[in-house]
Amino acid sequence: MSDSLPSMTASIPHDILAVPAAGDTPPVAAVPVRLVSTNGTPKPPFPLPAPTPTQDAGQGVRFDFNDGCRVTLPEGEWHVVLRDTETGNVLFETDIGAGAVTSGKKYFVPFELEVQKRGKDADAAILHRYDAKDREVLIQFPVGTLGDLMGWFPYAVKFQRKHGCRLTCSMSALIAPLFRRAYPEIKFITPEEVDPARYYATYNIGLFFDDEAHTHQPVDFRHVGLHRTAGHILGVDPEEMRPGMVLADESRPIEERYVCIAVQSSTQCKYWNHPTGWREIVTFLKEAGYRVICIDQKATHGSGLVWNHIPHGAEDQTGDRSLEERARWLKHADFFVGLSSGLAWLAWACGIPVAMISGFTHENNEFATPFRVINYHACNGCWNDVRHRFDHQDFFWCPRHKDTPRQFECTRLITPEQVRRTLRRIPGFGVGLEPVALQA
């Protein structure tokens, strides 16, 4: 028996789209991506790629990697092969006339494209292996979400450093200022400023809830974590990494030592639903000597008959303030206490200890923190359970126990004492402080 293994030449299923041309310059049909970020935005959040591939391969053939691998072919008889250079698989191989070929996978794949004209007039084969070095690449993030982007952006940085590309990141104009000074090598634009004809490759980062075919993500984000899914989509090391931030004003906002808290969120299952939880913790922190600063956007938030208010005794720094101002408060805080929400991710990015109170997500869904507060005696982890599709339109979503006495028990059964025990473990907690006067 020979010790050598046969080479793999057979194609593997890849859901390739191959269509005949409708004209002399066949465009690649662009199908809108239905993606929903954690803020529940229902419309497609990304500009679509250019209708015709942006790269000229010669012989009238055009290609790019702006929606997976896209190829258009002029009149003639062509032999097309698409490979994955990492796995060694032939993904697709066919004979085709004038038309277009589009890969089924839209996340990063190290493609190799081979196009050969058939017949007596055949020229040399066109062979292109993916190489983004010094080429324009676009990574698009949905707008309207803070925490997701704080976790995802570092993987764009990893991609730029790995490939040496000229990277453009499309994101909210409210968030870009946090990163722009720290990453002068990256261009930051808004979705409205995207010129899709410029780019060699484009990748869309988001949470693809209904992607059973793994078209837009190689693994379901609920299995690998909210932030690490970006690493898998971009084909880089999924190990988490804080983003760098350089603020316009990094001065300390107040002289006394303080703690930042954020109690609001976008849906009730994310709240700490213990009836006296926040009031007790604010009292506990002030008795330990800290000023307690609430940095939520809204002092009150809710739906229907349920409204959540800033805790009694906390100092109100809520309102429509810039994210840079909130980051300034966080950078100088002793620590942060909050939920699985955007401000917790911002606190993590600022490099301070984060005590996160969450039950509806598993611990690996967010960044690692030794100060995670979760009660495994209660129902938990529904967000990461693929059997339950999160409903962004239902403020009171609780897929296992809605309208029963157990609704929201994942956080309702997290006691103030459990939170106090966690906070006491933070290095330097209360050291050298005198109690802050409590309000009547």
> Any idea of the CA torsion for 302, 304, 306, 311, to the nearest 10 degrees?
30
CA distance 195 to 201: 12
CA distance 210 to 188: 29
Which sign, positive or negative, has the C-alpha torsion 358, 363, 369, 375? Answer: positive
Task: List helix spans (H) across 175-259.
Answer: 176-180, 221-224, 228-234
The tokens describing 131, both together, are 């190489």
Annotated active-site residue in 148, 211, 296, 334: 148
Residues 6+ apart with CB under 8 A from 284: 416, 420, 423
**With b meaning 16 or more CB within 10 Å and e meaning fewer, what string describes 188-208?**
bbebeebebeebbbbbbbbbb
Instruction: Give the orientation angle of helix 147-163 with respect to helix 342-349, to 10 degrees.
Output: 50
Q: How many CB atoms lie within 10 A of CB 244?
A: 14
Q: How many CB atoms lie within 10 A of CB 169?
A: 25
Catalytic site includes residue 148: yes
Question: Which of 222, 240, 263 lies closest to 365 in space, CA to CA?
Answer: 222
Residues 6+ apart with CB under 8 A from 204: 33, 35, 46, 106, 140, 216, 233
Residues 6+ apart with CB under 8 A from 220: 211, 214, 386
Contact 123, 57 (CB under 8 A): no
Residues paired with 130 in a beta bridge: none
Beta strands in 304-402 (DSSP E): 306-309, 315-316, 336-338, 354-357, 372-373
The tokens describing 80, both together, are 């097309």
Name the residues annotated as catalytic: 148
